[in-house]
Amino acid sequence: MERPYIIFHMLTSLDGRITGNFLEEERSPYFIEEYEKIHERYGSTAWMCGRITMEEHFTLGYTLELAHGTHSPIPRTDYVAPTAYTTYAIAIDPSGKLGWTQNFISAWNENRLDDHIIEVLTEQVSDAYLAHLRKIGISYIFGGREQLDFTVVVQKLKHLFSIDKLMLEGGGVLNGAFLREQLIDELSLVIVPITEGKSESLTLFETKPNLGEVMPVNFLLKHVEKLNDGGLLINYVANKD
């Protein structure tokens, strides 16, 4: 395979929501902990989230103060930081907005320690942001000129970083983009026995109207595991026939 095996791993309410007040319920911390344990069980060397998720949980909204217009042009070619790493946190950040201050996930997050950060960018990113990434030792790859082609992105992740298994744990739009490009090999869903019922809460897969119709993708049931407190772990694999 010219790309990693991609596992879509997500915590979801009974009605398919991945954001919302259900995450604040008294029962939810147990399922969040189980979600992280299952993540580790897969033994993947890399996981991927979108900009909003990374900003909420890892950069915590920090904004960089960059001196735009003061840097020499930097070629829009992929950059692999020189230090050797074995695990990776991949940030989908097309315009280069995330306020990273170091090249690995902060130690405050006990579940994702020392994962080297890889930024996925478009060529519209500023020279100042690229210079900042190089300065602090963050690797980056380009997925397109103005829009990201995720097939290209995941092929680069395998070629440049030898990533054979990737956990996709993004927001609804990122997940929808992978589904559209038929890049999901397996679904791992931790079902929280709570309904959200809010139309503004994101679902497992979202799409942008300007991208056209999404073709149905078929999956086959692989495994069902009962969790405590009425939860479920459900695994599906993509039907490649």
Q: Is the pLDDT of residue 111 over 60?
A: no
Mean of the pLDDT values across residues 220-229? 97
pLDDT of res. 212: 63
Token readout for 198 is 């809010």
Q: Write down how long the chain is.
A: 241
pTM: 0.92
User: Tokens 């840097």 — which residue?
Assistant: 71
C-alpha distances in angstroms, 22 versus 15, 121, 174?
Answer: 11, 32, 21
Q: Is 93 left (phi over 0), alpha (psi -120 to 50) or beta?
A: beta
Which residues does residue 49 pair with via DSSP β-bridges, in sequence order?
91
Q: Is the pLDDT of residue 198 over 90?
A: no
pLDDT of res. 206: 86
Find the largest Cα–Cα distance for the chain. Answer: 57
Q: Is the pLDDT of residue 240 over 60?
A: yes
Domain range list for the chain: 1-45+164-240, 48-163
CB atoms within 10 A of CB 163: 22
- Three-state SS string over the chain comes to CCCCEEEEEEEEECCCECCCHHHHCCCHHHHHHHHHHHHHHCCCCEEEEEHHHHHHHHHCCCCCCCCCCCCCCCCCCCECCCCCCCCEEEEECCCCCCCCCCCECCCCCCCCCCCEEEEEECCCCCHHHHHHHHHHCCEEEECCCCCCCHHHHHHHHHHHHCCCEEEECCCHHHHHHHHHCCCCCEEEEEEECCCCCCCCCCECCCCCHHHCCCCCCCEEEEEEEECHHHCEEEEEEECCC
Least confident of 28-37, 112-121, 146-155, 180-189: 112-121
Which residues does residue 140 pair with via DSSP β-bridges, in sequence order?
79, 119
Fold of 1-45+164-240: Dihydrofolate Reductase, subunit A (3.40.430)
Residue-wise pLDDT tens digits, 126-170: 999 999 999 999 999 999 999 999 999 999 999 999 999 999 998
